[in-house]
Structure 1
Amino acid sequence: MPIYAATRDRSPDDIRAALTNLVRNFESDAAGSRKQIRDLMDNDRNLFFASAMEIVKSAGDSRGGQFVVALFAANGMLLKALCDSTLSREQALALGRAAKRVDPMVDSALARGLADSAIGDSAVVVSDPARLMEIICEIADPARIMPSLMRLLRHPNTYLRSKAVKMIGRGSRSVKWVMGRLSESDPRIRANAIESLWGVETPEARTLLNFAASDANNRVVGNALLGLYYIGEAGVLTEITRLAAHESALFRATATWVMGESGDPRFTDSLRKLISEADPMVRKRAFAALSRIKSANAQPMQGQPWHIAGRILAGESIKGIRRALIAVASEDMRDQPKVAPLQFLLSEAGQYITSYKVVEKPPPEAISVIFVIPRSRDAAGGAFFSAAARCLTWKRPSDLWSILPYIEAGDGEPPAPHDPDPAEFTAKSEALAATLQGTPKRIECTDLWTALWRASRPDAGQSRGRRHVIVFSSAEESRIAGHGLISTVQTGRVPLQAICAGPNAELQEFCKRTRMPLQLGVQDEISELVERAYLNLLTRYEISYQPVSTEPVPLKVRVQSPTGWGEAVIPFYSEAL
């Protein structure tokens, strides 16, 4: 006869001790333990239930404890267990999650039991329906328990009705259904209805969230603004900041809650101001929100590092709006990142910009790029050649390149002046890589200004799409640019970018007269400058923003998403490309 065989004359203490030992030693004889535990349940369900309740509080995720939970779920005891007042809220939630793991359909039985209890048709008295509803919200699939949720809409408890509204909204993802709930007088129902739309990225959901952001109740407004934040609506930053200055302390407190939930560092300045708020609730939530934001931003960046580049467009609107074109590139040109508006973090002089708009443009059409590069591989420590080769990573099959070498001052005399041939283009990356690995023959080179003439002349070879020129320099140019070249560049509409690894007064004067950007960097910075100059040709995002500085300062752009991240500082030019 088994040691723990069930008998009808054993005391509750005996049953409890037997069940405890069976659960503790479950692994030693799983099959035998299962049978003996079932025998204990079949012999006296009430005694078994009372003993098992003590075990589920401490058994954790042991196999024996899981088997007891499975018996609860399979034998109609789970609802009674979850309603047991001796279980704490955390213990009840843990039991509900464990039951869901062993029986994925258990949520249907629990929701049906809660709905039945409202009309007195349940075998179990649900003394705390709010707690049971919280557990159901945690573990249930809303679509599967929809019939019970619809019944709960008639429950006398307004808290349960509001929770049912949220779950129905999440399960149906119906904007039309949620819209119908906004006519409810109970603000909890309206707030939970709006919360159910979090993550629904449709034009209809966006419109309804914007409408709910003007509700008379602070919770409804907060849920609407957070919903807009979650779907990446950049304009919501200004609305949340404005809410923090609301005349009502309730609305200001809601603003701090939204800021904390977002974990967005752009709200830090607003929250610091609210720390000195007269209302204690607002102060408390402001401190809590700052803590959450600090914790969220202390985490390491997620995903792969991305390459960010951009340029600020010339001119401002009447309202002082500036525009920037931004490129975001991964290491694989075939799989380029898609960035939501709120994933762009803009700042000037250490101060975040919260008023901006992002427009994603189609990928640029095929382009032709001419690299005007010093012949010597020693120029800039070889960084010009290696950086240009690195840019092959982002060259698309349809794009054409041309390499025009020239002889810098100090590298000997260039060949005698002659009428150079137009630039030759190719789309073959292998041929371009080979060219960039070798040293051009002196006979194939010209001086700097002749090379720029070849690159910018109207008949500059069989180019494709718009032509762009990137010129590199590491030494002072002794000759000045001719007026014909300057006029050609000014009128030819060929964008030019210059990158210098040292002073070059004549090239700087040339760029100034032709209104083309020039960047100066030390040798270690050249590779990054070249990469960004090339990526500037592949911009896909246009950002219109309200600057926080009245001075022409650089724009810092940081991209932060679950799949990748990167940042760049974009210089401000009085004239842009």
Structure 2
Amino acid sequence: MHGLAMIVALVGGGSFKATAAQEDRTEVKRALVEQLRAPEATRRRDALLALSTFSDPTLLPLFQTAAQDSEASVRAAAIMALGQLAPIKEPAGLGEVIPLLVRAVRDPHPLVRRAAAWALGRVPDPRAKSALREAARDSDAAVRAAAVEALGEHRDAAALLERLQDKDAFVRRQAARALGQLRAQAAVAPLIARLGREKDPEVKRAIAWALGEIGDPQAAETLRTLSRSPDPYLSAMAQEALRKVHARER
């Protein structure tokens, strides 16, 4: 396997990464690094996405440089590549990366801001949490949703509770699910209160699911009411959540 076919296999799902000989991997990496100099933004972007699958900390300087590219799609790919490296990089080695990701949260293009929010969710640093709280108030709903998911990784229940009041239903749903994943006891009353005002059926289902994951008995009456909902999906979700609450009471 040579040239473009090798690169396509690498980008297309990782099977090449798992099976190719080391010399082929080295050849592919060299070709992808060269592709970072291509005049076409799409080729630079694709090279970054492929290089990110190598999980190679020595590529960090290339990703940092690409994060300053004039094209938003390339910057976003570079930021995602940095995020891929974050969990395997020594904390001391993230010193230059974190300020770059924090700056990217303020990038003019929402695609880059969204990538930065995702990447910051993988960085165990207080500066990341602060930047994510800022991103959770972004004007773009997709950026806010990415920030909410990342704040869940940082276990920031207070910031997630604030997003329960977001004007976008998808963001509210993400916040409810993240609170459920955290099993945040402090979220029970706000989640129940939100139900009284919530119009979106997907958000209601997410809240029912979250209440079940948290398992607090004070949610039982609310879940019983939801179990009688004419929405069959909400009713089923509430019944399952109620079973979880009762199971934790035993």
When normalised by structure 1's length, the TM-score is: 0.30
Match of 1:77 among 28, 34, 39: 34
- The change in CA–CA distance for 1:182 and 1:84 in structure 2 (over 3 A counts) is closer
Match of 1:158 among 71, 96, 110: 110
Q: For residues 82 and 111 of structure 2, what CA distance do their matches in structure 1 show?
A: 13
What do residues 394-430 of structure 1 show as CA deviations (whole Å, max 9, x unaligned)?
A: xxxxxxxxxxxxxxxxxxxxxxxxxxxxxxxxxxxxx
- The change in CA–CA distance for 1:260 and 1:97 in structure 2 (over 3 A counts) is farther
Higher RCO, Cα 8 Å, sep 6+: 1
Asked whether the 8 Å contact 1:244–1:270 carries over to 2, the reply is no
Q: For residues 51 and 207 of structure 2, what CA distance do their matches in structure 1 show?
A: 29
Match of 2:101 among 138, 142, 149: 149
Show the counterpart of 1:253.
202
SS at match of 2:247: strand
Q: For residues 234 and 191 of structure 1, what CA distance do their matches in structure 2 show?
A: 22
Q: For residues 351 and 188 of structure 1, what CA distance do their matches in structure 2 show?
A: 30
Asked whether the 8 Å contact 1:256–1:271 carries over to 2, the reply is no
SS at match of 2:153: coil
How many residue pairs get aligned? The number is 220
What do residues 528-553 of structure 1 show as CA deviations (whole Å, max 9, x unaligned)?
A: xxxxxxxxxxxxxxxxxxxxxxxxxx
Q: For residues 156 and 224 of structure 1, what CA distance do their matches in structure 2 show?
A: 25
Show the counterpart of 2:170.
219
The one-letter code matched in structure 1 to 2:59 is V
Show the counterpart of 2:6.
55
The one-letter code matched in structure 2 to 1:253 is E
Asked whether the 8 Å contact 1:244–1:255 carries over to 2, the reply is no
Asked whether the 8 Å contact 2:73–2:111 carries over to 1, the reply is no
Higher strand share: 1
Show the counterpart of 1:557.
247
Asked whether the 8 Å contact 2:177–2:207 carries over to 1, the reply is yes
Show the counterpart of 1:167.
119
Higher helix share: 2
Show the counterpart of 2:220.
none
The one-letter code matched in structure 2 to 1:96 is L
The one-letter code matched in structure 1 to 2:145 is A
Show the counterpart of 1:65.
24
SS at match of 1:117: coil
Q: For residues 168 and 186 of structure 1, what CA distance do their matches in structure 2 show?
A: 17
Does residue 132 of the first structure (1) align with residue 132 of the second (2)?
Answer: no
Which residues of 2 match residues 483-494 of structure 1 at below 5 A? none
> Sequence identity, in percent?
16
The one-letter code matched in structure 2 to 1:353 is L
SS at match of 1:57: helix
Q: For residues 44 and 36 of structure 2, what CA distance do their matches in structure 1 show?
A: 13
Q: For residues 122 and 228 of structure 2, what CA distance do their matches in structure 1 show?
A: 31
Q: For residues 262 and 352 of structure 1, what CA distance do their matches in structure 2 show?
A: 7
Show the counterpart of 1:193.
147
Show the counterpart of 1:353.
242
Larger radius of gyration: 1
Q: For residues 206 and 241 of structure 2, what CA distance do their matches in structure 1 show?
A: 20
What do residues 427-463 of structure 1 show as CA deviations (whole Å, max 9, x unaligned)?
A: xxxxxxxxxxxxxxxxxxxxxxxxxxxxxxxxxxxxx
SS at match of 2:68: helix
Gaps of at least 5 residues in structure 1 are: 1-19, 21-50, 119-125, 276-285, 294-346, 357-555, 560-569, 571-577
Show the counterpart of 1:110.
63
What do residues 216-235 of structure 1 show as CA deviations (whole Å, max 9, x unaligned)?
A: 33233233222322221246
Show the counterpart of 1:309.
none
Does residue 274 of the first structure (1) align with residue 231 of the second (2)?
Answer: yes
The one-letter code matched in structure 2 to 1:140 is L
Q: For residues 195 and 162 of structure 2, what CA distance do their matches in structure 1 show?
A: 15
- Structure 1 residue 215: deviation in Å? 2.7
Which residues of 2 match residues 350-429 of structure 1 at below 5 A? 352-353=241-242
- Structure 1 residue 84: deviation in Å? 7.5
- The change in CA–CA distance for 1:272 and 1:139 in structure 2 (over 3 A counts) is farther
Q: For residues 80 and 152 of structure 2, what CA distance do their matches in structure 1 show?
A: 20
SS at match of 2:158: helix
Asked whether the 8 Å contact 2:133–2:151 carries over to 1, the reply is no
Gaps of at least 5 residues in structure 2 are: 11-15, 216-222
Q: For residues 169 and 134 of structure 1, what CA distance do their matches in structure 2 show?
A: 12
Q: For residues 153 and 189 of structure 1, what CA distance do their matches in structure 2 show?
A: 9
Show the counterpart of 1:36.
none
- Structure 1 residue 62: deviation in Å? 0.7
